[in-house]
Amino acid sequence: MPATDSLSRGELLMVSERRAEDEALGAMLQRRKYAVHLTSPEDFEPALLDEGAVDLLLLPVSAPDSPGVALSRSIKRSRPNDYLPVVVLIDTSAARGSRDALADKIASASEADAVISRSASAAHLTRHIAALVGVRRRLLELESENRQLRDMLDSREQAYNQLILESRQVSILRDSIINNVSHELRTPMLQVKSAVHMLDGEIKLNPALQSMERMLEFAAQATSRLESVIQNISQLASSFSLKNEPFRLVDAVNLALRQLGRSWSSSPEVPRVRVDVGKAPIVTGDKNAVAQVLSELVANGLKFSPDGTPVDLRARRNRDGVEVSVQDYGIGVDKDHVEAIFQPFYQVEYDSTRRFAGTGTGLAIVKLILDGMGVPISVQSERGKGSTFGFVLPLASVR
């Protein structure tokens, strides 16, 4: 076929049984800005349609058994996924009986999109052709857009799968490093702690060694801080793999208190914790992670509040879920320091805080865990009056 005219209203292929008569029809359509290509049934090649340059097939026929009727039916049945409109032009001037009956018979036999009488006006014919060409071109545009979208989705999916693979590899490497570091530090730390404990017993039994008691106290404090660092490393590892499942809040509270009991085993501080969670409903999240958050917040309250003052752990149902809060009555924090206390290794520089040892990572891990669960944390604090940390856990869905 000739090259497509980009300015034409459509590319029409007319398979003409009577070429001389149909050339006038072709000329009329060309005057209306259609590109018309004529061929005969004998010269017609289906490959012409595969080139994608034909917008509409025009088939003038004279009877139901004309070659054009069979051609129309063949094209429609052989191209179910490629819409190519077919218009059959019928000559009813020599029809015997009802012209409408002839048109219906040809329409049924040809399966064409439209069957139009050759005697119809030029405006009537071109109106049908324009509508069908418009549908064809719009479908081609949609198919092109769909191909582009599929290609883009395939590309995005490949990139996503690659990111998933790389993320898993990084996670495996990260967990391996953290676990190895934690293990390598924990083993010698237990040995050092045991040695300090044995020396403490020896010093108490031998008055000549009393001068070393202060030095041993420093060593005990140092090992305690290193233990805290190791614990924080383990907590950091666990914060990367959070669960989201129903659990009883009281179970997380009890787990937190047991963790505190181990950390403060030689201290009378734990009894200062007052727990009031009532009959809290089942919530959703990671029980162990929530227990770690509560343990850190309560430990923070015990650490930065005077001896003998309580630390309150409460839970109350609200419209969004269960609100959990930890309140202390200690040194408090100025408003301009509230955001900074969640930064790793940050400690408020008050004169009254210098006696409190620590790594400054507890609240940072609290924030990291809650962020991983998608749970915001709130802080209300006033210097000299204490602080209240709170967060809301969503209710478990009832099935």
Last residue of a domain, one of 120, 149, 172: 120
**Residue 242 and residue 373: Cα distance in Å, rounded?**
7
**Residue 117 and residue 33: Cα distance in Å, rounded?**
21
Provide the residue-wise pLDDT of the chain in tens; the chain has 399 residues: 544 455 578 899 999 888 888 898 999 999 999 999 998 888 888 887 876 789 999 999 878 888 889 889 998 998 888 889 999 998 876 555 567 788 888 888 889 999 998 888 999 999 999 999 999 999 989 999 999 999 999 999 999 988 888 877 766 666 666 666 666 677 777 777 777 777 777 777 777 666 677 777 777 766 766 766 666 666 665 655 788 999 999 999 999 998 887 665 545 556 789 999 988 899 999 999 999 999 999 999 998 888 888 999 999 999 889 999 999 999 998 888 888 888 766 666 555 544 455 556 788 889 988 988 999 999 999 988 999 999 999 999 866
CB 119 within 8 A of CB 93: yes
Question: Count of domains in the chain?
Answer: 2
**Residue 253 and residue 280: Cα distance in Å, rounded?**
11
Last residue of a domain, one of 59, 89, 120: 120
Q: What is the CATH number of the domain that holds 340?
A: 3.30.565.10
Instruction: Let me know if residue 132 belongs to a domain.
Output: no
* Domain range for 285: 244-399
What Å distances lie between residue 326 and 210, 297, 311, 382, CA to CA? 41, 7, 7, 15
CA angle 149, 153, 158 (to 5 degrees): 150
Instruction: Let me know if residue 191 belongs to a domain.
Output: no
Instruction: Let me know if residue 188 belongs to a domain.
Output: no
Last residue of a domain, one of 93, 120, 147: 120
Strands of 86-90's sheet, edge to edge?
34-39, 10-15, 56-61, 86-90, 114-117
Q: Quick one: 394 and 249 in the same domain?
A: yes
Instruction: Let me know if residue 239 belongs to a domain.
Output: no
CB 334 within 8 A of CB 383: yes
Q: What is the CATH number of the domain that holds 19?
A: 3.40.50.2300
Tell me which amino acid residue 183 is.
H
